[in-house]
Amino acid sequence: MRRLISSGSPFEAAGGYSRAVVDGEWIFVAGTTGFDYAAMTIADDPAEQARQTLRNIAAALAEAGASLADVVRVKYFMPNIEDWPRIVPVLGEAFGTIRPAATALVCGLVDPRMKIEIEVTARRASDPR
């Protein structure tokens, strides 16, 4: 059964996408950034953006009945390689013991305030939590 999850971000409605799509045991979380969607603000600090991005992803996963521990694949997108040393420790805190397959790309993002975008794929355990 396919289920759509929204964070309530106006970007999702405008762009015609879901924050996450649940299909059976699989959860596909769209590219997510460090916006605090309740306040529609974004920090300037790359590490804080990474933390908020992970909070946004964790919220989508929780709504799908999963957590960061269920992530099997992660993709990082960032426009400025000089931000990477500030971001890596935050990623290590989140994924250091989980160790999903990962890819990091340096590329443009749609808003110049964005310093990181993260996309994940997770697989829920067959035993619901």
pLDDT in tens, 70-124: 999 999 999 999 999 999 999 999 999 999 999 999 999 999 999 999 999 999 9
Closest CA to 30 of 16, 39, 19, 40: 19
Residue 129 lies in a domain: no
The pLDDT score that the predictor gives to residue 44 is 97
Domain count, the chain: 1
Residue 106 lies in a domain: yes
pTM: 0.92
Report the CATH number at residue 106: 3.30.1330.40
Alpha-carbon distances, residue 100 vs 44, 51, 70, 74, 75 (angstroms): 27, 17, 9, 7, 10
Mean pLDDT of 51-66: 97
Mean pLDDT of 44-55: 98
Percent of the chain scored above 90 by pLDDT?
Answer: 81
